[in-house]
Amino acid sequence: MTTDSRNPNAVSFKQIDQSVKTLDLATVEQENALLPDNLSGRVQKLVKVYGSIKPLLTVVSTLPIIPSGWRSALAVFSQAVEAVVSAPEISADFRAGKDL
């Protein structure tokens, strides 16, 4: 089941579910307690969480039941977060809690 069968890049329910399940909330909470409360620690948290919920946000931002202004705002927000988490200063092996 995909969200839009006409779009070859459509995300399936299974893909969204698997991605969200990668976000182990107990582990995230534990890592949050160990990360420093500074910009670096906050970016680490953002990268971890956003990576897991990005497919969900993408689909939600296309649902016609949500007002168009809200969908646009969500799309702009997702683009802004993507710009931060994909910045060259954040390397591909950047993981929340890896330096602990």
User: Could you tell me the residue range of the domain that residue 41 belongs to?
Assistant: 13-85
Q: How many domains does the chain have?
A: 1
Residue 45 lies in a domain: yes
- Is 5 a domain residue? no
Tell me how far apart the alpha carbons of residues 17 and 23 are, in angstroms, rounded to a whole number: 10
pTM over 0.75: no
Q: What are phi and psi of 99, to 5 degrees?
A: -90, 5
Has residue 40 been placed in a domain? yes
Task: Give phi and psi for 39, each to the nearest 5.
Answer: -60, -45
Q: What is the pLDDT of residues 51-83, one digit of tens each?
A: 888 888 888 888 899 999 999 999 999 999 999
